[in-house]
C-alpha cells in the first residue's frame, strides 16, 4: 500500500488560443498548480518530474530542480501556487508526475495525478 502523499495538489488548466498556432501543430497550455503541505513536517520542494503525453500517445519526460525557478519550503498547512506552461503538437494531451521534497524524515515523493490538457471543443 502506498503511503499517503505529504501534499494536497489541485490543478487548473487553460488553453492559450492567442499564443497557439494549430495550423503549425502548436498548442499552448497554462497549468496552475496549488500544493498544500498536509504533513506534520516542514517540506522543501526540491525536484519535479513530469511525464507529458500528447494526443498521438507520444511521451516526453521533463525533470528538474524546483518549480518555476523556486524551491519553496512549506510549513505544515502552508500552500504554494504557481503557473507554468507546456506546448503540445496536438489539441489534446495529459500530464502526470511527482515532486521530490525534503524534510521531516528525509526525502519523500508526492505523486501528481494525471490531468488533462485540451483545447475547447477537442473532446466530444
Residue 101 domain boundaries? 7-117
Q: Is the pLDDT of residue 66 over 90?
A: yes
SS3 assignment, position 85:
strand
CATH number of the CATH domain containing 108: 2.60.40.1470
Please count the structural domains in the chain: 1
Q: Report whether 16 contacts 30 (CB < 8 A).
A: yes
* pLDDT averaged over every residue in the chain: 93
C-alpha cell at 7: 501534499
Q: Is the pTM of this model over 0.85?
A: yes
Tell me, yes or no, whether 124 lies in a domain. no
So what's the pLDDT on residue 4?
78
Q: What is the pLDDT of residues 3-62, one digit of tens each?
A: 578 999 999 999 999 999 999 999 999 999 999 999 999 999 999 999 999 999 999 999
Tell me, yes or no, whether 1 lies in a domain. no
User: Residue 51's CB: how many other CB atoms inside 10 A?
Assistant: 16
So what's the pLDDT on residue 3?
57
SS3 assignment, position 101:
strand
Q: Which of 107, 119, 118 is nearest to 45 (CA)?
A: 107
Amino acid at each position: 500500500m502506498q503511503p499517503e502523499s505529504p501534499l494536497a495538489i489541485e490543478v487548473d488548466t487553460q488553453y492559450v488560443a492567442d499564443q497557439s498556432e494549430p495550423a503549425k501543430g502548436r498548442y499552448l497550455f497554462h497549468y496552475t498548480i496549488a500544493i498544500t503541505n498536509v504533513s506534520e513536517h516542514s517540506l522543501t520542494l526540491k525536484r519535479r518530474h513530469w511525464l507529458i503525453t500528447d494526443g498521438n500517445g507520444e511521451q516526453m519526460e521533463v525533470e528538474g530542480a524546483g518549480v518555476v525557478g523556486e524551491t519553496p519550503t512549506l510549513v505544515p498547512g502552508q500552500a504554494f501556487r504557481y503557473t507554468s506552461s507546456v506546448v503540445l503538437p496536438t489539441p489534446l494531451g495529459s500530464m502526470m508526475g511527482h515532486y521530490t521534497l525534503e524534510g521531516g524524515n528525509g526525502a519523500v515523493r508526492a505523486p501528481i495525478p494525471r490531468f488533462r490538457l485540451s483545447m475547447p471543443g477537442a473532446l466530444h
